[in-house]
Amino acid sequence: MRMWMTNSKGMCRQHLLGEHLETHMFIGHLRKKRGIDGYIRENCIEMLSIYDRHKELAEELIRRGYRHNSPLELEDTVCVYYYDQWQRDVKVDKEIALNELIARCPKCNERYKHF
């Protein structure tokens, strides 16, 4: 699981849908108060941005003509406050994430060339 935190318009269908699903998975993971140190260490989660990121991804899904039937309410993200402040403050390095995404995915690479 990971949050790419890149411009959603540049993501291919697979990565857009995947990150959207993973925002829901992260919320489930956080609700169960599971350890997230690995996600933090690997720079894969930005807890305080989950709600806004989900909203951005959902808007892009709709813009592309996909259905979005899995709303995330702000109240759903209250579970992040069970974690320490240092964990909540971690930010995904967007430049590293983008470079990894376009190196990993030819479709995302092609889409980002048009920005």
87-102 residue pLDDT tens:
999 999 999 999 999 9
pLDDT at 114: 86
pTM for this structure? 0.93
pLDDT at 60: 98
- Average pLDDT (4-20) is 97
Q: Is the pLDDT of residue 105 over 90?
A: yes
Q: Is the pLDDT of residue 13 over 90?
A: yes
CA atoms within a 13 Å half-sphere pointing along the CA-CB vector of 73: 2
Measure the CA–CA gap between 28 and 36, rounded to whole angstroms.
Answer: 12
**Does residue 5 come out as left (phi exceeding 0), alpha (psi in the -120 to 50 range) or beta?**
left
34-88 residue pLDDT tens:
888 899 889 899 999 999 999 999 999 999 999 999 999 999 899 998 899 999 9
Measure the CA–CA gap between 54 and 20, rounded to whole angstroms.
Answer: 6
For residue 40, how far is the Cα from the chain centroid? 13
DSSP letter at 64? T
Burial class (CB within 10 angstroms; exposed 0-12, middle 13-18, buried 19+) of 26: buried
Q: Is the pLDDT of residue 115 over 80?
A: no
